Amino acid sequence: MPSPDQSKIISLPEIKVIGIEVKTTNQNNKAQTDIPALWQKFYSQNILSRIPNKLDNQIVCLYTNYEGDFTKPYSVIIGCKVKKLTTIPNTLASKTVPAAKYIVLEAKGELPQAILKAWEKVWASDIIRSYTNDFEIYFNNNNSTSAKIYIGIKD
């Protein structure tokens, strides 16, 4: 992927997310085990219904608390954007994502393969990432699922 064109760069305001969290790494394929297990837990325990103050029912997968680049440990939170973080159930995690600039990619096709292919392009690209917060937002329309991937970039 060459440097992204300016039309795909956007600025977003602060968002707040509540969901379930795991600390993982891309080393030794750990994330390929941890992240699907987190998705399984999200659906099997109906986490969506336990998130207070949701803005909507769009699912967010947030990559945060990076300890370096994509080869170092980071946290993943699967949940929803919320209005406020005043009520957080004990078993859930929360994160305020500051306003920032992002490159936006769209992942279409069978999930999760389409997401993985998009991330592989990001990892192989020359995008100058901030390694602060990246996230995916999942859209469900007429039995078709797609996702937008927001890659945090340096100013």
Please tell me the predicted confidence (pLDDT) of residue 142: 60
How many whole angstroms separate alpha carbon 9 and alpha carbon 129?
Answer: 12
Please tell me the predicted confidence (pLDDT) of residue 146: 83
- Residue 35's closest CA among 27, 24, 45, 46? 24
Please tell me the predicted confidence (pLDDT) of residue 1: 40
pTM of full prediction above 0.85: yes
Please tell me the predicted confidence (pLDDT) of residue 44: 97
Domain boundaries, the chain: 6-152
Which residues of the chain fall below pLDDT 70? Answer: 1-7, 141-144
Please tell me the predicted confidence (pLDDT) of residue 36: 95
φ/ψ (deg, to 5) at 11: -110, 135
Q: Is the dihedral of CA 56, 57, 58, 64 positive or negative?
A: positive
User: 6-152, superfamily in CATH?
Assistant: Regulatory factor, effector binding domain (3.20.80.10)
SS3 state of residue 97:
strand
pLDDT tens-place string over residues 6-44: 458 999 999 999 999 999 999 999 999 999 999 999 999
- Spatial neighbors of 5 by CB under 8 A, at least 6 apart, are none
CB 115 within 8 A of CB 107: yes
How many whole angstroms separate alpha carbon 47 and alpha carbon 68?
Answer: 29
Question: Any idea how long the chain is?
Answer: 155
